[in-house]
């Protein structure tokens, strides 16, 4: 009887953990400063170009990122930004939509998702994986975990993991 109770509690704990982390992609929290260029790309489907501003990238995934800045940005689905980031020798320029905002240490923290075509997403995914393998050279155990997670795309078991670099 005691064994079934502990298994039930373990199952409840796993359900709570899954409920807390609803992300579809692993988020990599950056330990060293990583700056990217942010500029306005389009509003309501009309292309508008603005000067770029440097913002501090806090974390990144295949689905999106979060960054810190002093800039006040609108949180709207019809406003698309362009983020220019350097992944090793590759310069990526994905579109970005801001989904939420918070405050931390006197800075505004924005998070959102990438906006890319299928071909752009495929190229970004390949370059992102290559960059992460190079960035995590000193951590062979992280390499194994990352490879295992990327090989298990369809079973959604990786949603319980939180990998930091």
| Within-domain flag for 11 | no
Rounded to an integer, what distance in angstroms lies between the CA atom of residue 99 and that of residue 111?
A: 6
pLDDT at residue 91 greater than cutoff 60: yes
Lowest-confidence segment of 16-20, 24-28, 81-85 by average pLDDT: 16-20
Q: Which CATH number goes with the domain that contains 152?
A: 2.40.10.220
CB 25 within 8 A of CB 61: yes
Q: What is the pLDDT of residues 118-154, one digit of tens each?
A: 999 999 999 988 888 777 655 666 667 766 766 665 5
* In-domain check, residue 89: yes
Beta-sheet strands, E only, within the chain: 28-29, 35-43, 46-47, 53-60, 64-69, 79-87, 90-92, 95-104, 107-115
Q: Is residue 45 part of a domain?
A: yes
Given a cut of 50, whether residue 8 has pLDDT beyond it is no
Instruction: Tell me if residue 128 falls in helix, strand or coil.
Output: helix
Closest CA to 138 of 64, 46, 54, 32: 32
Is residue 114 in some structural domain?
A: yes
Which residue range is the domain that position 86 belongs to? Answer: 28-160
The number of domains in the chain is 1
Q: Is residue 165 part of a domain?
A: no
Is 0.85 surpassed by the pTM of this model? no
Specify if 23 maps to a domain: no
């Amino acid at each position: 009887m005691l064994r079934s109770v502990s298994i039930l509690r373990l199952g409840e704990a796993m359900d709570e953990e899954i409920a807390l982390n609803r992300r579809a992609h692993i988020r990599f929290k950056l330990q060293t400063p990583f700056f990217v260029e942010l500029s306005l790309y389009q509003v309501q489907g009309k292309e508008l170009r603005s000067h770029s501003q440097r913002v501090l990238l806090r974390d990144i995934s295949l689905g999106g990122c979060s960054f810190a800045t002093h800039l006040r940005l609108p949180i709207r689905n019809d406003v698309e930004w362009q983020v220019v980031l350097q992944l090793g020798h590759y310069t990526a320029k994905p579109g970005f939509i801001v989904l939420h905002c918070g405050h931390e240490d006197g800075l505004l923290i924005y998070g959102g998702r990438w906006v890319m075509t299928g071909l752009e997403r495929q190229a970004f995914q390949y370059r992102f994986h290559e960059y992460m393998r190079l960035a995590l050279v000193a951590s062979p155990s992280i390499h194994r975990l990352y490879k295992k997670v990327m090989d298990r795309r369809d079973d959604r078991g990786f949603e319980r993991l939180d990998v930091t670099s």
